[in-house]
Amino acid sequence: MSDEKPPGNLLLNFPADGHRIGARWNYLSQIEGPDDVGTTFGLISLKENWIAVDGERARHILSKLLHRNMAYGNERMDSSLASEVAKTFLDTFPDDASFFTNGTWDEEPQTTGATTFGPQWSPATSATFDGGIIVCSKTKIGIFWIEDED
């Protein structure tokens, strides 16, 4: 992963569909963990409910969240484009980065009898559905967060 891109923001709004997608990154000399990063960028504090994931799982989670909306599973963008967007964002961070999410977004739904259970998550915004990745390193922090409404 590279540390060459400058701090920045990306916010995409899809008001007709109730979607909001945002990515932000910045340089910091000190960080205290995912909760501090999340609240720095406007998320609700989840304290110990952040889930640590490795870089490959972070890429998979972002790709999945970008590809289909959380409310109904409708395609938001082509899966290859979603993978490229996720990779591009994650590649802006140095090799010492740690990754966190708020839910089991990459797990397949489980069926018990006639009931299907989707992902479990801790809400980090006031949206009906929200998920993404928080990135922490020694010198750089970032967040790629997606909100969906039903």
Beta bridge partners of 118: none
What end-to-end distance do the CA atoms of the chain give, in Å? 35
The CA distance from 108 to 30, in Å, is 36
pLDDT category at 118 given cuts 50, 70, 90 is: confident
pLDDT at 1: 44
Going by pLDDT thresholds of 50, 70 and 90, the confidence category of residue 28 is low
Q: Quick count: other Cβ atoms within 10 Å of Cβ 111?
A: 9
Q: Which residue has the higher pLDDT, 49 or 72?
A: 49
Q: Is the pLDDT of residue 46 over 50?
A: yes
State residue 138's pLDDT score: 82
Q: Residues 5-15: pLDDT tens digits?
A: 445 555 554 44
Give the neighbor-by-neighbor strand order of the sheet with 19-27: 8-14, 19-27, 140-148, 129-136, 98-101, 51-53
